[in-house]
Amino acid sequence: MILSTRNQGQKHVLHLLLIACSPAPTYVTNEIVNNNYYIEGDTGDTGELDLYVGAPEPTLIPENMTVDVFGTDGNILYLSVDPLIVADANENWENSYWGWSGYLYEIGEAAGVTLTNDLVVVDGTSCDSPDDFSSCSDIASYGPVEFHIAGQSTGVAWENLTIPNIAIDMDEAQDELTLNGTEYLRFNNGQVGSIFREAVALEIFTALGYPAPDTSFNWLMSNMWPEGTKVPYTTVQPYKRDWCEAHADQLGGGCTNMWESWGDITPDWIAYLGAECQVSECTNTRLTEAAQLIDDSLYQPSFKELTGEYIAWDEIQTQQCIDWILWIGDDYFHNMNNLVVVERQDGKFMMLPYSTDISLGQEWYTNTELYGWSAIPTGCQWDNTCWADTIATCQSTVDAFQALQPTLILDDVYMRLSDQNMLRSGDDERYTVLWSWLSERATEGVLEEELENYRPSMRELYCGSNDTGTIMDTGIVTDTGEAIVDVAAPAPPPGGGWGGGDTGGNWDPCSL
């Protein structure tokens, strides 16, 4: 039986009445874009608003769908949207601060709730040919779902020929609606890091035993784009309660609270972070306590011991190491950005990898160093014992990374994309560059040599001696060839100046 999305009746009546009163949008007509994923089509010349142009016809009710959107690639999601609602979503997004620098691929949380008219989903595994919907047995209409335009420096407004980041919440308009158990989905456009980097980086985290989101590659279609346009996206599982439950054994028993923002875990940032709860409701009490303790303990030689009740140090140090290995520089450690904080059931806090498309040699963050500049890594780097533990953690992480043969993960991603006909112009070249970068990074001796450069703690570097009294070599040689090994005065720490103090407005953390 065919269930037409155009005749579902009452639940769309109000929306259709609103559309009838809306001015007709301007559409690109008879447009031919030769970029491997556009199917030549004609939007027509009647000027009438068709919210289902080129959409697949449903064959099942949602309750009978068994689609696994993260377990399989090549599923097709058709977003039927009113262009006026899309305009609202674009306005909510407002990315004027960052701007946009260009595309790799072309077509040739919002303040308010924005809903699709409909979401039609095709189980790609049910199709003999994904380009012929009549060959697909499992297609369902889910009705209105919430969507919003996402992303900052990687984002773009949704227009007729743009490829935005899109996030979906299935049950905002219909309580308890899911896509076969999945409530939240995020579709990343790959415009900065290519379609490879996000998935490859997150799969490396997972392979190294660090909790990370699931990813897959799926097609998006919409009446917003020229008829027949299918855009391949990296689909990433958002950090929500269902993700926490699936990874409870890696999270000290699960998530008590979870926040996603930018900034730091210090008192001056906590208002921003505490307002961005990622589960139904968060309690910020322990987060506020942790922020104050981190701030009070900063630069203390026993920072790790002082904060051990609150910080999951094994995980913090492991993530800092992986971010260094993979050159993930737009992160909490190096840029106070893309910060996801979990308060675990055991009461400790850890971070999670997020927005990892800026990685693996991407030009915005090259040569990402191990040293970090936000509060937690800074505190550890001024604690000789803590930093020695970080170096030891990195040594074992490097060994595990090399044993992975990470180029095999990239090879697998490439073949998955190729099997779905999702590779686009330039992707073969991008794959080759990435393969060379990963191969070099995993070559024995490369990371080991680099790690040696990071062995000194900040206390050792800036204060001139370590706890054993060994004088550090300054690297300065006099005209007579004599090495200067003592350090008369420490340089200011990262962030500028020593700040505060009793004499001249300065204080010396080396005296702590």
Least confident of 6-10, 224-228, 332-336, 383-387: 6-10
Q: What is the per-residue pLDDT across 99-121, written as a single tens digit (0 to 9) for each? A: 444 557 666 533 457 999 999 99
Domains and CATH numbers, the chain: 36-238 (no CATH), 252-455 (1.10.1070), 463-512 (no CATH)
CA distance 183 to 461: 49
Contact at 8 Å (CB) between 129 and 135?
Answer: yes
CA distance 215 to 73: 9
Res 332 pLDDT > 60: yes
Res 367 pLDDT > 80: yes
Q: What are phi and psi of 399, to 5 degrees?
A: -60, -45
Q: What is the per-residue pLDDT across 64-94, written as a single tens digit (0 to 9) for each? A: 999 999 999 999 999 999 999 999 998 888 6
Least confident of 133-142, 196-205, 290-299, 466-475: 466-475
pLDDT at position 394 is 99
Q: Which residues touch 310 (CB under 8 Å, ≥6 apart)?
A: 286, 289, 290, 293, 294, 347, 348, 349
pLDDT at position 43 is 40
Res 507 pLDDT > 60: yes
- The mean pLDDT of 444-473, rounded to a whole number, is 80
- Annotate 448-464 with b (16+ C-beta within 10 A) or e (fewer): eebbeebebbbbbbbbb
Q: What is the per-residue pLDDT across 375-407, written as a single tens digit (0 to 9) for each? A: 999 999 999 999 999 999 999 999 999 999 999
Q: 395: which 2 tokens? A: 């040594």
Confidence class for position 482, pLDDT limits 50, 70, 90: low
CA distance 238 to 120: 21
Res 298 pLDDT > 60: yes
Res 61 pLDDT > 60: yes
